[in-house]
Structure 1
Amino acid sequence: MNPRRIAAALPVLLLVALSACSNADPSGRLPPSSATPSGAGHGAVTGASEVAEPQLHLVAIDGTGNVGMLDLLGNGETKLGTVAPPAATATDGRYVFTTTPKGVEVIDSGVWTWDHGDHFHYYRATPELLGSVRGGGSPAVTTGPLSTAGGTGLFFPESGEAVLLDNTSLSRGEIRERFRIEVTPHAGLVAPVGDGAVVTTADAAGTPAALQYYDADGKPVAGARADCPGIHGSIVTRVGTVIGCADGAILVTGSGDKPVLEKVPYPDSAPSGVATRFDSRKGRPTVAGLGEPSGVWLLSTRQRSWQWLPTQTPMVRAAAVDDSRGHIVTLDAGGRVHVYLAKTGEEVGVTEPLLSKTISTAPSLETVTLTVDAQRAYLNAPAEGVVYEIDFADKARIARTLSPFVRPVFMAEAGR
């Protein structure tokens, strides 16, 4: 079903989806999930409505902090308010975590998807600005798989503060820290796992070099530690959490008191460049990472294996759709979006340059976001003031050019 079209059959489909989760309880109550954290309630929260398809929106933030949302289904727009001038953003598909002079300000889009393993639940609630989390320096933000359970990790490099936010509280409009611990200041990260998180530790030179699991109270768990030289980047997948290392990646699996930290080394024939800046369609097992000199790394967390996909030009963004055809969507430094097939490495589409004004006026492309969902890719063009909707399955065709009333200097796709 096309998630951008509301069809007359959707109420029926919603009934079928709800029935698939029930145990013939005449009250209509949903039973606890065995595939997700207990008591999580399938992602439902008080005041939210369950709907029949993902409520896909774009959250746009301009350079002064104005925040708006564009409905990708109905094209309606909403202004949410204002945050302090932003420097960076991250998202888990519901919340947008915006780095500002106040620390990290949290925006709740009010739309999210609950992944139940073999099917999904979709919700819609009132969007709002939740407040800020204090901290020193520009933090690394690492999100978890579910917006209403588990946590979100913030690591502030200047102070060495590792913070784990409670997502259940966020879903109720409250910012609550599960723990805040201080380690040696370094360019680290906090990766949520189960009720706790994996936190980086630095070597004598102040370089992130190892990972330690902390429980929900911020206590280190004995035996849940792994070496990971040159730590860079993290992403959550359907299988587990990936953390990049100079010699491969650590895959963290399990959600109990002591998760498993497993090394997935690069193949012997690997090029010299390591994978950086992991990205993928949310909840998929295969992720893409930028590689050098010109190419993309693909990591299959199910197979515990890497694949090198060479490209003719260096890329600055890469995301794995991980669909049946294995689409990989990338962005080069000239502002062109390319589409490749993972199985063959064939380039099957490329756009014209889309960021000419942005490239000529911005010192870097750091505020440019390339995001993918099941059917489309989205690319914001900050200086042009538009967002391109790209049909990656149709030779990178520009399906729509969207012009939000809040200029998309920063952009996140919500509802995924």
Structure 2
Amino acid sequence: MHRRTLAGIVTGLTLATTAGCGGADVGADPGLGKDHGAVEGAREVAEPQLHLTTIDADGAVAQLDLLEESPTEIGTIGAPGAVESDGRYLFATTAEGVEIVDSGMWTWDHGDHFHYYRGEPTLVGTVTGDGDATVATGPLSTAGSTGVFFRDSGEAVLLHNEALADGEVRELFRIDAGSHDGLVAPIGDGALVTVADGGAITVIRYHDADGKAVGEETPCARASGTIATKVGVVVGCADGAVLATETDGRIGYERIPYPSEAPRATRFDGRKNRPTVAALSGKSGIWLLDTRERSWTHLDAGTSLHQVVAVDDEEGHVLALDTTGRVRVFAAEDGKQLAVTEPLGTSESAEIQLDQDRAYLNDPAKGVVHEIAYADEARIARTLETPTVPEFFAETGR
């Protein structure tokens, strides 16, 4: 069985850069401040603590260590309808609202290097609310915030990430925005919140950490889809995207219009905290949004797709899950198909998650997650049996 070892890749770099930050002894309780991602009781370690954290249809939560292939049971939440993750937490929409699982594994992006932490997995608590919830996360799990929008009650909630890291669900604000398919996109000390007129979204508005509306509204008709990138926060609009950036506490907006009339993007996905993200465009199209260049690229996969994800690596890989359960690898430059797997499962909850050298796809029918070496002709590196059926999952520790 193939076992990937990341130690040789990252240990030297991590040890050197951790020392350069004034630091913690690797393997000991970190002496760094929270501006480096440290949390009391967690250990700073020499490599990413990559895990698969899984939730079955009844809410049983567990995780699998990807280095040791050892399982850990975490607990039980309500039956999930949807799950989002920032690479540490899983935010599961249940009948109670949004229940939060802390994997206890995370990476702190310090710009030119990273810090890696290992703590204890736990069930943090619940954000109450009515109806389907849209969750938007930021680039860091121990700083900034997480946004939750409840469709039926129209409540826009901003959560305090530092409190989450300490095991507390703390709301920075809860605003009545009226019932609609809205979103709360964290940026700076606050968040962008959709504003609807008669249930139709027309603009987005920035609210500070106290919930106060600050600055001018920005047009964004039928806003749908948001993601944090290395450059700023993207919100999808009917005619393109708004890119929001924060400088010295002030929020600025740039419009990135579509270059053609191809079907719009409504959900963005990509490797965490990279500048380029991907989105479906109709049945077989792929939009790539480069937030550094403020430009769109449109590709045609030639087959019906379920999900697309931008790797945004040096080779420009784009991964797609098609409706037959195959994972396809495309070149971002020209849309050429580079590799394709055999069918790996067609569950409605099947989803690709990825890091810099592997992708993961859950197959709940078989109770496994496939590990795919996407840069190596989409080779199946491992098929991993998870401790709970992976109806929903996240690769954590990223």
TM-score (norm 2): 0.94
- Please point out which of 42, 49, 53 is paired with 2:36: 42
Change (3 A) 1:279 1:7: closer
1:329 matched residue in structure 2: 319
- Please point out which of 394, 397, 402 is paired with 2:376: 394
Distance in 1 of aligned mates of 2:155 and 2:21: 40
1:15 matched residue in structure 2: 15
| Counterpart contact for 2:30–2:38, Cα < 8 Å | no
Partner amino acid for 1:312?
G
- Structure 2: tracts of 5 or more residues without a match: 24-28
Residue 9 of structure 1 deviates from its aligned partner by 9.2
Asked if residue 88 in structure 1 is aligned to residue 88 in structure 2, the reply is: no
Distance in 2 of aligned mates of 1:181 and 1:9: 45
1:210 matched residue in structure 2: 203
- The 5-angstrom pairing of residues 1-400 of structure 1 reads 4-5=4-5, 7=7, 13-22=13-22, 40-204=34-198, 206-223=199-216, 225-254=217-246, 256-267=248-259, 270-355=260-345, 358=347, 365=348, 367-400=349-382
Distance in 1 of aligned mates of 2:44 and 2:138: 21
Distance in 2 of aligned mates of 1:276 and 1:201: 17
Partner amino acid for 1:65?
G
Residue 40 of structure 1 deviates from its aligned partner by 3.7
Residue 11 of structure 1 deviates from its aligned partner by 6.2
Partner amino acid for 2:352?
L
Distance in 2 of aligned mates of 1:307 and 1:316: 19
Partner amino acid for 1:182?
D
Residue 405 of structure 1 deviates from its aligned partner by 2.1
1:361 matched residue in structure 2: none
Root-mean-square deviation (CA, aligned residues, Å) is 2.0
Distance in 2 of aligned mates of 1:354 and 1:179: 42
- Structure 1: tracts of 5 or more residues without a match: 32-38, 359-364
Matched residues, number: 392
Distance in 2 of aligned mates of 1:145 and 1:4: 26
Distance in 1 of aligned mates of 2:163 and 2:309: 30
Distance in 2 of aligned mates of 1:8 and 1:382: 32
Distance in 1 of aligned mates of 2:377 and 2:179: 45
1:189-234 C-alpha deviation (Å, 9 max, x unpaired): 0000011000000023x112210000000000022x2100111111
Distance in 1 of aligned mates of 2:51 and 2:247: 30
Distance in 2 of aligned mates of 1:273 and 1:211: 22
Distance in 1 of aligned mates of 2:10 and 2:93: 38
1:270-307 C-alpha deviation (Å, 9 max, x unpaired): 24300122100001000000012421100000000000
| Counterpart contact for 1:273–1:293, Cα < 8 Å | no
Q: Percent identity?
A: 53
| Counterpart contact for 2:283–2:305, Cα < 8 Å | no
Secondary structure of 1:276's aligned partner: coil
Change (3 A) 1:9 1:283: closer
Change (3 A) 1:29 1:280: closer
Residue 8 of structure 1 deviates from its aligned partner by 7.4
Secondary structure of 1:79's aligned partner: strand
Distance in 1 of aligned mates of 2:247 and 2:66: 34
Secondary structure of 2:393's aligned partner: strand
Secondary structure of 2:16's aligned partner: helix
Change (3 A) 1:376 1:9: closer
Change (3 A) 1:12 1:290: closer
Distance in 1 of aligned mates of 2:61 and 2:235: 31
Between 286-295 and 60-69, the greater mean CA deviation after superposition: 286-295
Between 379-388 and 102-111, the greater mean CA deviation after superposition: 379-388
Distance in 2 of aligned mates of 1:15 and 1:285: 26
Residue 14 of structure 1 deviates from its aligned partner by 4.0
Distance in 1 of aligned mates of 2:284 and 2:10: 44
TM-score (norm 1): 0.90
Distance in 2 of aligned mates of 1:10 and 1:207: 47
Change (3 A) 1:242 1:7: closer
Distance in 2 of aligned mates of 1:291 and 1:14: 39
Between 287-296 and 104-113, the greater mean CA deviation after superposition: 287-296
Partner amino acid for 1:16?
A
